Amino acid sequence: MRVLGVDPGLTRCGVGVVEGVAGRPLTMLGVGVVRTPADAELGQRLVAVEQGIEQWLDQYRPEFVAVERVFSQHNVRTVMGTAQASAVAMLCAARRGIPVALHTPSEVKAAVTGSGRADKAQVGAMVTRLLRLAAPPKPADAADALALAICHIWRAPAQNRLRQAVALHAAGAPPTSKGRRG
């Protein structure tokens, strides 16, 4: 599975591509940041984010895009920019028919470090270890993008099984006895 992780932001939008499957060593294929000038007009900044993400999609051809779910912050201006950059990433993926998964910051931290309250340094250290890198990716937005991709690779199999079970239940199919002993 190849996943593009996107840590959305207007000034710095972290991007990272990870390939692998749950339970096996993962491989980083690329990591970086799409930057926009803080003094540029909002529309121009959104176009720059779109162009940057499109380049990553063209170069790495991911099967999935994992985006950090925007959560409420005290600074409305910051959360608005994050939400706008997030929407651009989702739009770019949807335009190509690539499935998008949203993960909360605490889900990502818990998946990568074991604690939903881990700080940026802990996330960077674990990303470095899990991907066997020489040093943590800089800036933190880049490491966070890789963490999103890792989280999705590890969580996707369970999420897919859950979706299938819900779909079967909704269709009225009886539960299977697979794995049960009677």
Active site residues: 7, 68, 141
Q: What is the 3-state secondary structure (H, E, C) of the chain?
A: CEEEEEECCCCEEEEEEEECCCCCCCEEEEEEEEECCCCCCHHHHHHHHHHHHHHHHHHHCCCEEEEECCCCCCCHHHHHHHHHHHHHHHHHHHHCCCCEEEECHHHHHHHHHCCCCCCHHHHHHHHHHHCCCCCCCCCHHHHHHHHHHHHHHHHHHHHHHHHHHHHHHHCCCCCCCCCCCC
